[in-house]
Amino acid sequence: MIKKLVSHGNSAALIIDKPILDLLKVDMDTPLEITTDGKNLVISPVENDKREKKFKAALEKINKVHEKTLRKLSK
C-alpha cells in the first residue's frame, strides 16, 4: 500500500485505513511510538506496562537459571 502525507495545520499527517487499525487493535486513544532506523519510519503501539513487566521478570528468571550457559554461548 502506498500512501502520501496530507497537510494538517503546520504539520503532515499519515492517514491509516481502518482495516489496518483494526488488525493492530489500535484506536484513537492508543499511544503510538514512532522510531526510525535512518531509512524507515516505524510506528508501533506502545506496549502494555503490565505485559512488559511480566516479560522482564521472565527474562531475568531465564538469565539467572541459565547464566553460565548464556555466557559460554556469547564467547
pLDDT digits (tens, 9 = 90+) for 28-72: 988 899 999 999 999 988 877 777 788 889 999 999 999 999 999
35 and 42 Cβ atoms separated by less than 8 Å:
yes
Question: Quick check: is 1 in a domain?
Answer: no
pLDDT at 19: 95
DSSP 8-state class, residue 66: T
Instruction: Report CA-CA distances (Å) from 58 to 10, 53, 65.
Output: 45, 9, 11
Dist. CA 32–CA 45, nearest whole Å:
4
CATH of the domain at 13: 2.10.260
DSSP 8-state class, residue 39: S
Question: Quick check: is 42 in a domain?
Answer: yes
